[in-house]
Amino acid sequence: MTEGAAVLGVGAAFAGYRIEGVLGRGGMGTVYLARHPRLPRSVALKLLDHEVSTDTELVRRFEREADVIARLEHPGIIGVLDRGADDGHLWIAMQYVRGSDAASLDPRAYPAATVVRLVGETASALDYAHSQGVLHRDVKPANILIAASDAFRESHAILTDFGIARLTDPASTKVTATGTFTATLSYGSPEQLSGQAVDHRSDQYSLACTLFAILTGQPPYTATNPGQVIMGHLSQPVPRLTATRPDLPPAMDAVLDRAMAKQRDDRFASCSEFTAAALGALEGLHIAGSARSATTAVHSAPHEQPVSAAPIPEHRQVSPVWTPERQPAPPVWTPPGPVATPHPYPRPYAGGARRPAERFETRPSRTTALTAVIVTLICALFGTAGFLIALAAALRAVAAGSPHVAAYAVVLLIGGVLVLLWNSAWLLLLAARHLGRMLTIGCSGLGTIIGVLGMAASPYVVIPERFLAAAQGTAAIVLCASAAGLVCAAHRSTARWIAYRTAHRNTPRGW
């Protein structure tokens, strides 16, 4: 294997792994798609380049990334599987995520609520890392992987690249060389850019910049001169999100104003609180105003000199100390009724019955929802049986040379679509999907109309006398069952149950 930027080709073997392709390349090395030597799975194999392997700081950063990720167990954080050294290359085998990163998202192709949900999942991962004493310090769209959706789960975000993460333990060893700045300028917090001590709210600032960038297609402060970007973070007001996205509510500006406050004490208490407020703003809830001071100047005490964006001297690189007791806990919104004391790392809102302020402290009853499922299933079974009977009759008529083939085909097509909708409704509702609830409401409403029309029209249709009572009874059963399904599916308790299941489906175990 030779030195250089691309050292491994497809099919090459390295440390027992079989290279299948190149996923990306960074300043420290290359990330390959590789086949695990013992398990039937693919991994992301990250290799440190030969030419930088002699750089002590980069080697320590590379090793630290594996150490940091290995101690974090969270579904929203990339998993590390193994690490080692082979042929002069340090390597890490990590979880392979099928999808793309957030930097490649088209801001117009995704609803704002979906973007906020994905960023909220990253916020949950960051809050977990902070609770374990780890700061990421380089949150940006390129470091958020968006895993593609499948039949069992919608698309979700996974945080990666902890290469410059730092432990909040003040005794931890610093790995940043004198005069070296590691955070990405477009997403760095004012305290990072000015060489001050950072804490968990620095990651929140970067996450707010990330949300701004995904929604607009560019970071909040853009310039060809890096100094102008730095001064934007340090002294310029937060750009108005609605200036680029007028389709979003003005309350989103207030949320970003607070999350990107120059003074970290004026920001939200946690990353999840910030993203919950953003989703609340999209839903039209009242967002508590920021209590921060003006953003047009670098905040400092009267006796202090303004901070500088010059290279950071070693004596100013102070390890951050985060003490949760010092966190402010301002409210995010003003919900009606009493408000319970929030969790230290609040669970992000993950959809549901459009009630972001609801914490679901108790499990909602599922009786009403299951009643709707059962009634819809019964209607679907009757509909399926009727469709099969009609299909058999049509096949016999066609075999007998009936001239009404086209009419049979139209009737069977309509009946097949209705049966498909009925069966999809109860299956999706049983899986606690909002689409299932909407389909159940629609199908039950249609069944109610059919039942009413059947009862009203049966005396005037040419039906043999011996079948008239049976037809009216069938119409009455359809009417009653459909009405019951409609009421149960539209009931608020069904919506609460779906919201609860959705929130717990997207929330890590143990929270």
Catalytic residues: 138
Residue 130 to residues 74, 269, 325, 503, Cα–Cα distance (Å): 12, 12, 13, 22
Q: Give 485: exposed, middle or buried? Use CB within 10 Å, 0-12, 13-18, 19+.
A: buried
Q: Tell me the backbone φ, ψ of residue 307, rounded to 5 degrees.
A: -75, 160
486 contacts 444 by C-beta, under 8 angstroms: yes
Q: Which two tokens stand for residue 440?
A: 């159940």
The DSSP line for 200-253 is: HHHHHHHHHHHHHHHHHSS-SS--SSHHHHHHHHHHSPPPPHHHH-TTS-THHH
428 contacts 369 by C-beta, under 8 angstroms: no
CA distance 65 to 292: 35
Q: Which two tokens stand for residue 113?
A: 């609520």
What is the longest distance spanned by two Cα atoms in the chain? 101
The DSSP line for 167-213 is: ES-TTSPP-PPTT---S-GGG--HHHHTT----HHHHHHHHHHHHHH
Q: Tell me whether strands 156-159 and 13-14 are parallel, antiparallel or unpaired.
A: unpaired
The DSSP line for 256-268 is: HHHHT-SSGGGS-
CA distance 23 to 17: 15
360 contacts 503 by C-beta, under 8 angstroms: yes
* Paired strand residues for 42: 35
In 3D, which of 383, 382, 404 has the Cα closest to residue 393? 404
